Structure 1
Amino acid sequence: MIILLFAFILLFTTVLQAFMPKFLKQTEAFGVYVPEQYSTEKTVIRLKSKYTRVVLIAGLVILAGYLLWSLTQNPTEATLALISVGVQFSMLFISIGYYFMMHLRVKKLKEEQKWLSGKSEVRVVDIKFQDKLKLIPKVVFIIPMIVTIGLIIYTFIKYPEMPDMIPTHWGPNGQPDDFSEKTYFSSIAILLLLLVMQGMFLLMSEGMRFSGSKINPANKKTSLAQQLEFRKYTSWFALFISISVTLMMGYLHLQTIHPDISSAWVMLALPITFLVVVLFGVLIYAVKVGQSGSRIKIKEDSPNLEHSITAVDEDRYWKGGILYFNPDDPSILAEKRFGVGWTLNFGRPASWIILLLPLILILTIAFNL
């Protein structure tokens, strides 16, 4: 079962990474801005296809090797877990390494062909953009947090009835294999982690409200409509993940108070079901929405502007096309250039707080168990 689970994760991530260029805007290739009229340039299309082919083949070879090794060598549980995690990271490093190769090639091509030569850079701003947004109200994200706080209160009420040792990890067979001594802190540690994650989903949804829009001057109406839909779907997706995590971690916590509500089979099936549901949610989101809503079909298209006008080239703010550093941009969140979703604007001090504070809290909770 564990072998099949890790094989499924490896296959899923390989396919998602390999076909990532299909989910991105045509005006961005491997983290580099591509003016509208060069988006169908043969070399750019060829590099995208090559990336898909190389990453897909590499992932399938690694998958075949992993299955052959795990099914013929009969490894111990600890070795299997170590190698299984290792192959996931190996595939990630391969895809990232090849991405950077493609990033440099597109960047060089852009300089050699002088894509921006003779063009006026235009930034389109919709002053009513925030009023048009249809994000999930923050009170909806707060509801799962209230449920978690309720579980904390319930735990303190039931504290005297809880066992002296609290399970903190479950093995592949669904049985707990690691415990912490019961204290008021250890009894609610999993709920504190849940609160941190719920707060992060809330911040992500609300952060989109104040993030500047990237409207394409060559197709303003379509670009604006896709931007609005993209943020709406992302808000819904964040809520979906928040609720899913709350249900899973809430159940895991309740079974430590009431062991009779669970079984080894349930404890084995629950995280697997959660993982499959979330992964398919990610897939549906990527295929339906795409980067910046680029895959959302809009009925009314606006005519393209003349080739002498292009969007503002912000390549200088993107380090490797992945990390965004722009101290002049008040936005905390920025749309990813490679990948579907959002990243932080590391040019703003508040972004570092948003990144480090949850990490510190999670590590503090984990190391005090």
Structure 2
Amino acid sequence: MEQVDPPQVAWFSPWDLLPLVGALALALALPGLMHGLPDPIPTHFNARGIANGWTSQAGYPWLAFGLPAAIWAVLWLTGRAFVGSDQDPDGRKSSAMAPLRGLITLGLLGMMAGGLFIPRHGQGVIVWMIGGFLALALLGILLMARQMKQTLRDDKRSEHYRWGLFYVNPEDPALWVPKRLGLGWTLNFAHDLSWIILALLLLPVALVISLTRTH
């Protein structure tokens, strides 16, 4: 069998510099932002904007940096885990996830900083915090989708997709095939068994809907 070298994919991306710069900026600003705040600091709010969770000033830096770092690590590991597999043979899906990873982590750091303005400026800050995070997350999704379009153009299975979503290839014996976009598998709907599996997957949803309507 011919030896195939694993794909050479950079471990990190320039997009990963965004949360790094954001973390450094927050580290420099944190002492000033926390000065004069109550201890503990309100860090969780209910639907009406009333604080129902607090974190001590000593523990806040662990939350402010730990949560974004954990989310970044999960997104990074998710992309790297499939490089070289049938999910991401050339590593392009992993590379395409970099904008989303960087911008979501930056958005979380912004929320951590924004939370320190709530005791001084009121609940209206929450709207700006959530809005800023969602805007960065949406931008990350759009940039990721744009990069992943290249994988669609080069995918040899593209001609077997219906409406770009459903894989139908009777010549492919595989029942489950890797998704074109994102990570995971999709069914080959050319096989009768795929429709049975789809029905079984949708059955719990149908039961929940029917029970909801009867009560």
Normalising by structure 2, we get a TM-score of: 0.53
- Contact conserved, 2:98 with 2:144, CA < 8 A, in 1? no
2:123 equivalent in structure 1 = 264
Report the secondary structure of 2:42's partner residue: strand
1:194 aligns with 2:194: no
2:44 equivalent in structure 1 = 169
Higher relative contact order (CA 8 A, sep 6+): 1
1:277 equivalent in structure 2 = 135
Unpaired segments of 5 or more residues in structure 2? 158-170, 187-215
1:252 aligns with 2:115: yes
Structure whose residues are more often helix by fraction: 1
Question: Partners in 2 of 1:173 and 1:284 — Cα distance?
Answer: 31
Percentage of matched positions with identical amino acids: 11
Question: Partners in 2 of 1:297 and 1:206 — Cα distance?
Answer: 19
1:213 aligns with 2:102: no
Q: Per-residue displacement from partner, 1:211-261 (whole Å, max 9, x unpaired)?
A: 531258xxxxx963xx42x222211111000111111221112444xx1xx
Question: Partners in 1 of 2:60 and 2:2 — Cα distance?
Answer: 46
- State the 1:138 CA deviation: 5.0
CA 1:188 to 1:270, structure 2 compared with 1: closer, same or farther past 3 Å? farther
CA 1:238 to 1:169, structure 2 compared with 1: closer, same or farther past 3 Å? same
Report the secondary structure of 2:150's partner residue: coil
1:111 equivalent in structure 2 = none
- State the 1:143 CA deviation: 2.3
CA 1:301 to 1:191, structure 2 compared with 1: closer, same or farther past 3 Å? same
1:149 equivalent in structure 2 = 27
Report the secondary structure of 2:56's partner residue: helix
Question: Partners in 2 of 1:288 and 1:123 — Cα distance?
Answer: 34
Normalising by structure 1, we get a TM-score of: 0.35
The AA in structure 2 aligned to 1:212 is: V
Indicate the RMSD between aligned Cα atoms, in angstroms. 4.7
CA 1:199 to 1:215, structure 2 compared with 1: closer, same or farther past 3 Å? same
Question: Partners in 1 of 2:155 and 2:141 — Cα distance?
Answer: 27
The AA in structure 1 aligned to 2:123 is: A
Question: Partners in 1 of 2:130 and 2:17 — Cα distance?
Answer: 30
The AA in structure 2 aligned to 1:265 is: G
2:166 equivalent in structure 1 = none
Report how many residues are paired: 170
Question: Partners in 1 of 2:132 and 2:143 — Cα distance?
Answer: 16
